[in-house]
Amino acid sequence: MHELFRSLAHGGSWPTCPEGNAGGLGHEPYYPCPAGMTAMRSGLDGNAGLIASPNGNLCADTKKPSNVCTWGRDSSCQATYPTIPRQPRSDPDYVDISTGNGVQRFYFSLRGY
């Protein structure tokens, strides 16, 4: 397993065979957001806005928007949402494997390899 993890951490691929029905290597750095919240990340280039992103580091309640407006030469308003940070996973890497009970996701970490 150490050899496999070392290979994966350095760009190798998950070993596959037709009988194994294993998916490719995946990465989920955070746990899911609480019910009713959406995974987001901060906008690029210093934008104050949020962008929906499955691996974003924030959870936003998009049902409770409020407007933040700036006045002056470039007056504008932008919707903001209440946010909380997402909880990071200690084992963010995963592989999906088909078993007799359906597809199961197995999490592990490649840190340190």
- pLDDT tens digit string along 33-79? 999 999 999 876 444 578 889 999 999 998 988 887 878 887 778 77
Q: What percent of the chain has pLDDT over 90?
A: 34
Domain boundaries, the chain: 1-28+92-113, 31-88
Residue 96's pLDDT band (cuts 50, 70, 90):
confident
Q: What is the pLDDT of residue 19?
A: 66
Among 31, 93, 79, 90, residue whose Cα is nearest residue 58: 31
* Enclosing H/E stretch for 35: none
Q: Is residue 15 over pLDDT 50?
A: yes
Q: What does pTM read for this prediction?
A: 0.69
DSSP bridge pairs for 92: none
Identify any residues that bridge with 11 across adjacent strands, giving them in sequence order.
none
61 in Cβ contact with 82 (< 8 Å)? yes
Instruction: Please state, in angstroms and rounded to a whole number, the distance separating the CA atoms of residues 30 and 59.
Output: 10
Region for 11 from its dihedrals, namely left if φ exceeds 0, alpha if ψ lies in -120 to 50, beta otherwise: left
What radius of gyration do the chain's Cα atoms show? Answer: 20
